[in-house]
Structures are given as C-alpha cells and as structure tokens.
Amino acid sequence: EIVLTQSPGTLSLSPGERATLSCRASQTINSNYLAWFQQKPDQPPRLLIFAASSRAAGIPDRFSGSGSGTDFALTISRLEPEDFAVYFCQQYGRSPYTFGRGTKLEIK
Amino acid sequence: QVQLQQWGAGLLRPSETLSLTCGVSGESFSESYWSWIRQPPGQGLEWIGEIDHTGSTNYNPSLKNRVTISVDTSKNQFSLKLNSVTAADTAVYYCARGNSVWSRRPFDPWGQGTLVTVSS
C-alpha cells in the first residue's frame, strides 16, 4: 500500500502568517490523485483540495495545493483564526486508499 | 446536493458484531462507490472498504477477513458489518462517497460519524 508521511506533526503559527504542510508518498501517486482535508474537533473531514491542486467547491483561494509524483504540499497563504485545525492528505489513485497521519496547525 | 446520514449501535462488547448503515440522498446511488472509513480517538483515518450499486466490493486487506459491506439499492442505503470486535476497533466510523463509476475522486461528502466503543 502507499504510505503517506506528513510533516511537520505540529505547526505553530500566528494568524496572518503563511503555512506550508508537506505530504510525501512512498510510491508515485497515479495521475496526482492526492487530496487534502481539514478536520476540526467532532466534525468529519472537509475536502479542501483534489487532484493535488484543484480547490473543492466553496474553499477560499488562500488554500492552494501543489506537487506531483511523490511530493505534495498544502499552502495557506494567510492564516485566518478558523484555519487552525488538523490537516490530512489522502491518495485515491490506488487501493487500499490511504491517509497521512495528519498535521496539527495550532495557534502560536 | 448529496447528503449521507448514518446510524447504528454505539456500544459493543468484545467479540460482538459492529453494524452501521448509511443512507444516501440527493444523488443517483448507481453513479458512485460508497465507502466506510474509521478514525480511532486522537488518531488518523483508515479506509475500510467500498461498494457499488451492483454489490461489488473492495476491502482493505488489513480488515478483509472481518468486514462485510452490503447495499440495499431500493432504499439507497449501504451497510457495514465488522465481526469479532475488540477494543482496538473503538473509533468514529464514517460513511463517504468515493470514486464515481467513470473516474477517480476523493471522499466527499462524508456522513456525520458514529462513535463506536468496544468495552466489556
């Protein structure tokens, strides 16, 4: 199975700063089938980015995805208070579909 | 707009069978694959398996010998059964829409989640 490694485990930043989260795959992800999710306590994950760089409906343009092959990133250009949450990457190119362990974005 | 609503028992004893159902509204059931995903408390997400409207299934090898996913197309529902549960199966279980029958896509939307606790 494809293992996704996210880094850092925790990222401490202030509102207004820029956040860059990393997701590295153990194998090339077919056709960049890589998604990013945001999860807040007691809520299901919310889709932010699909196909590595396409924003899902209703997602603000401060969220952007990049990368290909085995290295991917999620960038939040200017952090808003509501952006502090846990972020997961997920590959849907090959079964079993797998998730990274998450990056917790916390307020500094 | 697709919506998923899930339900099922939230407290089980070891060796019992977990049983959850997810109802789908707002979309033709036959156009997608429907998945179950779980998340142990404070941990990451694990895909359990998926089913299409014909009943064709695909399971995560890590759980394949204990999992059954079934579908009731007359009710636009799909269900999860996980047998011989242990404390390690304690998790929030989610249903979600996955790939379409024509193309790959990520899990979206998701059900509200059901906390299943296994305890003696």
pLDDT tens for B59-117 read: 999 999 999 999 999 999 999 999 999 999 999 999 999 999 889 999 999 999 999 99
Mean pLDDT of the region A33-38: 98
Specify the pLDDT at position B29: 84
**What is the C-alpha to C-alpha distance for residues B90 and B111, in angstroms, rounded to an integer?**
18
- For residue A55, give how far its alpha carbon lies from the nearest alpha carbon of chain B (Å): 12
Specify the pLDDT at position A85: 98
**Among A13-22, A74-83, B21-30, which is the least confidently predicted range?**
B21-30
Interface test with B, best of A97, A101, A103 (most B CBs within 10 A): A97
Task: Give percent of chain A with pLDDT exceeding 70.
Answer: 100
Q: Locate B9 and state its tokens.
A: 């028992």
Residues of A in contact with B105 (CB under 8 A): 50, 92
Specify the pLDDT at position B28: 84
Pairing of strands B57-59, B91-100: unpaired
Of B61, B99, B106, the CB nearest to A90: B106
Specify the pLDDT at position B27: 87
Specify the pLDDT at position A62: 98
pLDDT tens for B11-70 read: 999 999 999 999 999 988 899 999 999 999 989 999 999 999 999 999 999 999 999 999
Res A64 pLDDT > 90? yes
From A35, which residue of chain B is nearest by alpha-carbon distance?
Answer: B106
From B103, which residue of chain A is nearest by alpha-carbon distance?
Answer: A93
Res A11 pLDDT > 90? yes
Specify the pLDDT at position A31: 84
Specify the pLDDT at position A30: 83
Residue among A103, A98, A75, A76 nearest A88 (CA): A103
Interface test with A, best of B57, B60, B104 (most A CBs within 10 A): B104
Res A7 pLDDT > 90? yes
From B40, which residue of chain A is nearest by alpha-carbon distance?
Answer: A101
Q: Which residues are CB-neighbours of B49 under 8 A, at least 6 positions away?
A: B35, B36, B57, B58, B59, B60, B63, B64, B67, B69, B80
